């Protein structure tokens, strides 16, 4: 494998396997992996814990005022060989996938001040290349010059079942219809927000993994990387 390193930007809809393929690519290429969705989830968790989400409203002014008190870091777990997210020094991996976070993360991530702070962190993490990063605006906003851009998609019912499986693995209960409706709503909010909306970069390659296994989609991506290197 070439010593030259590239930046790999992976965007797409919720529960399309963006994190899975980014993590697999990073492991195979010995690259750093960053789950940007986890960053926005951590900010959302902060809002829930600190009374910035009350009933059906997000306290926008309060969030902006307290944003300087929100510190996001990643810690590499030597046992699981995966990066885990820290919110103000606390490992919150087990909390950020809860349904209440799912319900609010699109609204929190639409806040311009939040996105600009997270994007700045993401760009800093990717300065040296050799990184696989997934999210909603990686190929369009964070790394518009990335050498490889993938845009992930899959059938909505398959996506919903994947999210159910993920939640069950974490012993979180949710109905199929609840999860499916949440995904549809998140897609709508992500694509229609003013700040860095979800959209396919012009030079991104579409990867529909509705009927692909994990090894098959990894092989697809590695072949593209090999061509670039």
Q: What's the pLDDT band for 4 if we cut at 50, 70, 90?
A: confident
3-state secondary structure the chain: CCCCCCEEEEEECCCCCHHHHHHHHHHHHCCEEEEHHHHHHHHHHHHHHCCCEECCEECHHHHHHHHHHCCEEEEEECCCCEEEEEECCEECCCCCCCHHHHHHHHHHHCCHHHHHHHHHHHHHHCCCCCEEEEECCHHHHHCCCCCEEEEEECCHHHHHHHHHHHHHHCCCCCCHHHHHHHHHHHHHHHHHCCCCCCCCCCCCEEEECCCCCHHHHHHHHHHHHHHHC
pLDDT over 90, % of the chain: 62
Would the pLDDT of 217 be above 60? yes
Measure Cα distances from 151 to 29, 113, 154, 194 in Å: 19, 25, 10, 20
- The pLDDT tens digits of the residues spanning 123-144 come to 998 888 999 999 889 999 999 9
- Give CATH for domain 7-223: 3.40.50.300
Please determine, for residue 76, whether its predicted confidence score (pLDDT) is greater than 90.
no
β-pairing, 148-153 vs 205-208, is parallel
- Map out the domains of the chain as residue ranges: 7-223
What's the pTM value of the predicted model, to 2 decimals? 0.80
pLDDT digits 0-9 by tens, 158-202: 999 998 988 888 788 889 999 999 999 989 988 998 888 899 999
């Amino acid at each position: 494998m070439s010593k030259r390193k590239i930046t790999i930007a992976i965007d797409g809809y919720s529960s399309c396997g963006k994190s899975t393929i980014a993590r697999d690519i990073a492991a195979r290429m010995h690259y750093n992996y960053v789950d940007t969705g986890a960053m926005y989830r951590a900010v959302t968790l902060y809002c829930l814990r600190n009374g910035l989400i009350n009933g059906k409203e997000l306290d926008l002014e309060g969030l902006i005022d307290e944003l300087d008190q929100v510190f996001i870091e990643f810690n590499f777990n030597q046992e699981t060989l995966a990066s885990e997210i820290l919110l103000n020094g606390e490992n919150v991996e087990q909390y950020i996938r809860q349904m209440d976070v799912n319900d609010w993360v699109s609204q929190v991530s639409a806040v311009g001040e939040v996105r600009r702070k997270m994007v700045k962190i993401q760009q800093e993490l990717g300065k040296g290349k050799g990184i696989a990063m997934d999210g909603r605006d990686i190929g369009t906003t964070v790394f518009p010059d990335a050498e490889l851009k993938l845009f992930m998609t899959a059938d909505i019912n398959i996506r919903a079942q994947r999210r159910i499986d993920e939640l069950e693995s974490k012993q979180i209960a949710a109905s199929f219809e609840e999860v499916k409706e949440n995904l549809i709503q998140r897609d709508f909010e992500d694509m229609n927000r003013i700040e860095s909306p979800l959209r396919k970069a012009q030079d991104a390659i579409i990867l529909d993994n509705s009927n692909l296994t994990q090894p098959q989609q990894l092989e697809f991506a590695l072949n593209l990387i090999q061509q670039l290197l």
